A and B are shown apart, each in its own frame.
Chain A
Amino acid sequence: MSNSSRIPGIKIIVAAAMALASGVVFAQDGGGEGGGSTNVDGSSSNGSGMFADFDISWGGFIRPELAISLGSENPNNQRGNTFNGVPTARMPGVPQPVDALGGLLPPFSIPNPLLADNVTRPVNPANNFFNLNLLRIELEGAMKFTPSLKLVARLRSIVDPGNYSSFDPVSVANAATGSIQGGDPGLYGGAPNYFQYSVEGMKRPNPLEAAGPNYLVYFPALFLDYQEGPLNVRVGNQQIAWGQAIFFRVLDVVDGIDFRRHSILDNAQEEFSDKRVPSLGVRVNYQFTDEILADAFVQKFQPTIYGNPNTQYNVIPTQFTVHDQYADYDTKLSYGIRFKGNFGQWGAQAIFVSRLNPDGVFRWTASGVNKNLPNNNALGLAVNALNNGITPNPLTGQIGTSGEILAQTPFEASPGGVYSAKEWFTYAASVRLDGVGGLNAAINEFAPSTNSLLASPVDNYTAASRELDTFFIAAGDGLRGHIAREYFREYNIGGGVSYVVEGEPGSLLDQLIINLESTYTPDRRFTNPTLSRDYIKEGNLVSALVMEKYQRFSNTIPATYMVLQYMHRTKDDLFGRSLKGYGGSVDKAATGVNGGSDYVVFAMQQPFPQAIWRIDFAGLYDVRGGLLLQPGLRWKPNGSITADIFYSYINGSITGGNPNNNALSTAAFADEITFRVGYQF
């Protein structure tokens, strides 16, 4: 921080107020002529008053950040949907609400070509030049009250004027199905909301955050720090990071991730520096010996924050409306402890954490949107006739209009949803869901309402496809799906060992740091690829092997810093998604993959003399065929200016196979080049 004590007026006023309040009079000695040990300012360190060490320091920077798209539009957004403007055939099937033939003709096994059609998703595709265009201002400050007590604050402000070709929900509104309803109108009813984290039932899920559609202001850090001997206590809003692995989060389980702003596509080597979600809590450190440190925390639970619908790096397809149930978990606490020991060449650490998994899990939920199916098609007419709101539905006995019945299912008959079975399966596969199982779960878990609408569970892709097309045609403009996000407590048990190799001086092995970390989570809840409320519950082991090294390759340029990491996860992918949702495509439901997931990272930094220029490189390889490469260049011509440029190349199918077999295809649209120019003050 800069500008320490350079605001003497404030310093004097605050210090004077404290001195008066405490009844302590203090002064700074200037001469230091007397005996006794002195600081080099001539004053005693111990003693001239309780607030003799009072100090304020602050600093900050301002930084525009631009990312120019070299890839495609985000397919998860309305205007990036790959079916926009593409005529797509729909083949409905014949419902079998009553099994009169003893299972010989399962529901929707018989096509209904009379009602077949072609549909074109009615959203105008966009072609954005910028993926990102924001201004960041950060302020840091510290106020030292005594040698043991200080207040640390970091304030981050971000403005995104939203200069993108964005989705306007009005553009898809029509007379037959109206406009998008359901969910938070702030997220789904208007222009994209770049920053507000919206949950149902509460206004301010992040306590120390103020956000609007185009701005975000929050405190990544605002805490009191008290240190006395080997004890360090921090109380307030703070981020906690554990573990030696970078980017791979193995022992780094304390905080969720904030995917707003630039998602995971900032400079990879800055890791999650502006990503961990801060949380109100207490952290206690105790340094038992040189070698052993204990680190414990209790935090208010704060979830991972995903990008909002139709924002640049949104990962939840906008055909879904999300109902975040965080308000039910707002008072929950996460807590944990870590022991860390360093013993010469060896190091070890162990953690135990009880937390609510901040990523949360998703399931179908009733839409609550009461909107009848349109009568502009035969299927809609038939369903409306069955559910007329006056007479009981002959199949289920429910009395209600089709809108009232639909409101009790996860669907909403509105534009901007899914328009065809092909779109359904394509998107189910891309977000690692099971297109057939997902349909069945939505029908089974919301019966009898779904039965009232003539829906029946199916057992194969073809029948599911016909059933889906049947209802998309009946809905006139397709259907939007509603999902809820919930959170569950879990226990993370982890450990790690490290070893520093001492080899021949100058050799590749000399001073190589090898680190192995693992975390096991018994009974972790995963989102079921069917979006069933019956979440997957299984033990998950995440392990990483990390090797780090500085090596001089030349006498004229400084040493190269290199990191090689390998990660294996037994049940999920890099983003925490169950591997059971892998393997789907437009033509088939998810098959799942066996053997866990494996990732390799290689990163390096090559500074040049005086470190004014630096080349960065990071590569992430998913062994099932995904690749992320990020070369970059950093220039720091003087103390005030820092300029960065880095290119993110993401290939979701480098081996030509099914891109839905690897994690990175999720972000494959986001090839881009990012520019950042920071000015410090």
Chain B
Amino acid sequence: MRIKKYDFNYGRRMLMEKAAKGVSTAGVLAPLWPMIGNAADTSKAYPDELLSISVFTKGKIKPGDVISAANVDAVKDLFDPITYIQIKNQGRKINVVESTKDVSKLFPNQYLKATLKNQGTAKFDDTGNIIGKDGGPWNGGNPFPEPKNGLEAISNLTLAWGRHSYSQYAIRDWDIAPDGSEAYKYDFVWCEMNTTARADGTIYNGKKDLLRYQSVFFTSPSETAGSSFLNTWYYDQRKFPDLYGYLPAFRRVRQFPTNQRFEPLVPGITLFLSDAWAAGDPMLTWGNYKIVGRQPMMGCISGINFRGGYHPNYERTVHGGPKGTTFFDTWFELIPECIVLEAEPTGYPRSPVGKKRIWIDARNGMFVAYITYDRRGEIWKSFEPAFAQYSNDKMTIKDADGFPDWSWVYVHSHDLQANRMSRFSQVREVTGGYKSKFSEQGEDVYSKYLTTQAIARLGTG
């Protein structure tokens, strides 16, 4: 049993002080990253109140409880404003679990090792882009494990979205109408391959001038199936990606303008390209990054959220909303320290988004909540991710080195103003037989999914 040496609000007070003073070190009682590097118990970096929801709420809420409209006010400040509205007014319920204290469960193993290995070597060059120790592209892992400013914080999100050199997400999406009905359902596959900033330290195929290839192709329903898009991201974060698309009506690959990143991809969906990973645009096309606070937060990062073994396709049960189908069932925990980052779309003067606010887990640099505001300053959309180590009591998915792998498991994308919800679940397999995976596994994924030829073929063009 730990001895309580600090008063109840010590942790929160210290986080506020850190934010006010611009202190970047993660941890309250002690710096976090040396503990991670020494494989020490990182729980010593935070006081009990920031690692235990029971302590934090003075017993009002504890692991095993369900947060609902009846008790959410006790933890209102631990949710982003849209999640709070969902719980308070729309019938959402959230299961509570113990906080994760083993930080290695918050990363893919290779990515954590790269972060530690390359710690302290990242710099910005004259153009505002990140260079690694040899002056070339970043060498892998989080470039700024303890970000001192907003640009460093967004770098951790932008350079390696999925924390793997290659990720392939089989995604099933349900789009919920304001009346609570499941109005649209799409299957699609999202592939992302870094050419630089790879955790394995390599540069793919000599492509130093690129950051990543990313494709998305729809496989269901038939009207949408075959719609495929390929984004080629430049390493220079001032430049828009190249965008090529295959639309079934055109029967061929055509180049598309790429600067409109705030549009729905298909009818009924609330996701914009700009929303991906809370960093869907090249980071230097946004501006006015600033860290506006540090706080504890409820977030969905526990391994229990991986549904392997519970559903053959890892799909999730639902609840809430007018017809009981609006929200995935989920398990949240108290995250001791989140960086609150804001940014404005300075490179998109006609963007409908006026500002975004991102809550980033200070331990792994990954976002746990993300809100956009419209040009009037009104709250517009939330993009709530759930991450998990892919290991639960029934199934473990391991990486090439035998460590449990890690990825996102679901996203709630909620347009509050239109009251439309898109629920994305990373599933085992979608229509067409495409499966999720987190490495190339010896497959020529570049040729299969990430060339203009590939998107024509995937579009059956």
Chain A residues with CB under 8 Å of chain B are 1-5, 30-42, 44-46, 53-55, 57, 59-61, 138, 140, 142, 144, 147, 152, 154, 221, 225, 227, 229-230, 232, 239-244, 246, 252, 269-273, 276, 285-287, 290, 293, 340, 342, 344, 347, 498, 500, 502, 505-506, 510-513, 515, 548-553, 555-556, 558-559, 607, 609-612, 636-639, 642, 678, 680
Contact = CB atoms under 8 A, between A and B. Distances in A.
A4 B270 contact: no
Contacts of B185: 639
Given A2-B431, A243-B252, A270-B249, A511 B451 contact: no
A513 B447 contact: no
B430 A4 contact: yes
Contact of B432 (A42, A55, A239): A55
8 contacts: A4-B220, A39-B436, A59-B222, A154-B460, A246-B254, A290-B205, A511-B260, A611-B264
A37 B400 contact: yes
A639 B398 contact: no
Given A37-B437, A40-B390, 14 more contacts: A3-B220, A5-B433, A31-B395, A40-B170, A40-B438, A45-B442, A57-B431, A241-B250, A293-B452, A502-B240, A510-B259, A550-B260, A551-B350, A558-B260
B223 A36 contact: no
B431 A285 contact: no
B64 interface: no
B349 A505 contact: yes
B212 to A, nearest CB: 12
B429 A41 contact: yes
B456 A285 contact: yes
A293 B455 CA distance: 13
Contacts of B452: 287, 293, 340, 342
A638 B221 CA distance: 12
A37 B267 contact: no
B74 interface: no
Contacts of B6: none
A559 B259 CA distance: 10
B134 interface: no
A221 B447 contact: no
A498 B255 contact: yes
Interface in B353-403: 374-375, 390, 395-402
A232 B444 CA distance: 13
B441 A4 contact: no
A35 B402 contact: yes
Interface in B3-29: none
Contact of B448 (A41, A42, A227): A227
A61 B225 CA distance: 12
Contacts of A230: 447, 451, 453
A11 B264 CA distance: 35
A40 B420 CA distance: 29
Contacts of A273: 248-251
Classify the secondary structure of A's interface with B: loop
B267 A244 contact: no
B398 A607 contact: no
Given A40-B397, A548-B256, A556 B352 contact: yes
B31 interface: no
Interface in B247-275: 248-252, 254-260, 262-264, 266-270
A264 to B, nearest CB: 14
B461 interface: yes
Contacts of B248: 273
Contacts of A44: 441
Contacts of A33: 396, 398
B68 interface: no
A512 B453 CA distance: 24
Contacts of A612: 267-268
B220 A344 contact: no
Contacts of A276: 251
Contact of B268 (A36, A61, A142, A610): A610
Nearest to B185: A639
B255 A611 contact: no
Contact of B252 (A221, A241, A342, A502): A241
Contacts of A243: 252
A221 B456 CA distance: 14
Contacts of A144: 432-433
B220 A1 contact: yes
Of the candidates B260, B308, B407, the one having the most CB atoms from chain A within 10 angstroms of its own CB is B260
Q: Which 8 A-B pairs have the closest CB atoms?
A: A55-B433, A4-B431, A59-B222, A506-B349, A552-B350, A550-B260, A241-B251, A35-B402
Given A59-B221, A60-B222, A221 B460 contact: yes
A217 to B, nearest CB: 17
Interface in B328-351: 347-351
Of the candidates B397, B448, B460, the one having the most CB atoms from chain A within 10 angstroms of its own CB is B460
B374 to A, nearest CB: 7
Contact of B220 (A59, A232, A510): A59
Given A61-B223, A293-B453, A506-B350, A40 B435 contact: yes
A54 B435 CA distance: 12
Contacts of B456: 285
Contacts of B256: 513, 548, 550
A242 B447 contact: no
Contact of A638 (B254, B268, B435): B268
Nearest to A148: B448
B257 A37 contact: no
Contact of B225 (A140, A347, A510, A555): A140
Contacts of B240: 502, 511
Nearest to A637: B183
B257 A513 contact: yes
Interface in B172-201: 175, 177, 181, 183-187
Contact of B398 (A37, A611, A638): A37
A290 B251 CA distance: 21
A61 B263 CA distance: 26
Nearest to B207: A290
Of the candidates B242, B250, B257, B457, the one having the most CB atoms from chain A within 10 angstroms of its own CB is B257
A41 B428 CA distance: 5
A128 B254 CA distance: 40
Contact of B352 (A42, A225, A241, A555): A555
B219 interface: yes
B418 interface: yes
B418 A1 contact: no
A550 B219 CA distance: 25
B208 to A, nearest CB: 13
B443 A46 contact: yes
B437 to A, nearest CB: 5
Given A42-B395, A59-B225, A144-B433, A344 B349 contact: no
Nearest to B443: A45
B268 A636 contact: yes
A473 B359 CA distance: 90
A555 B254 CA distance: 27
Contacts of B260: 511, 550-552, 558-559
A271 B264 CA distance: 22
B457 A2 contact: no
B460 A271 contact: no
Interface string B162-176: 000000001000010
A559 B432 contact: no
Contact of A639 (B221, B395, B399, B429): B221
B255 A347 contact: yes
B314 interface: yes
B439 interface: yes
Contacts of B405: 40
A451 B122 CA distance: 94
Contact of B437 (A34, A45, A555): A45
A287 B222 contact: no
Given A1-B432, A273-B250, A552-B351, A46 B257 contact: no
Interface in B67-125: none
Contacts of B436: 39-41
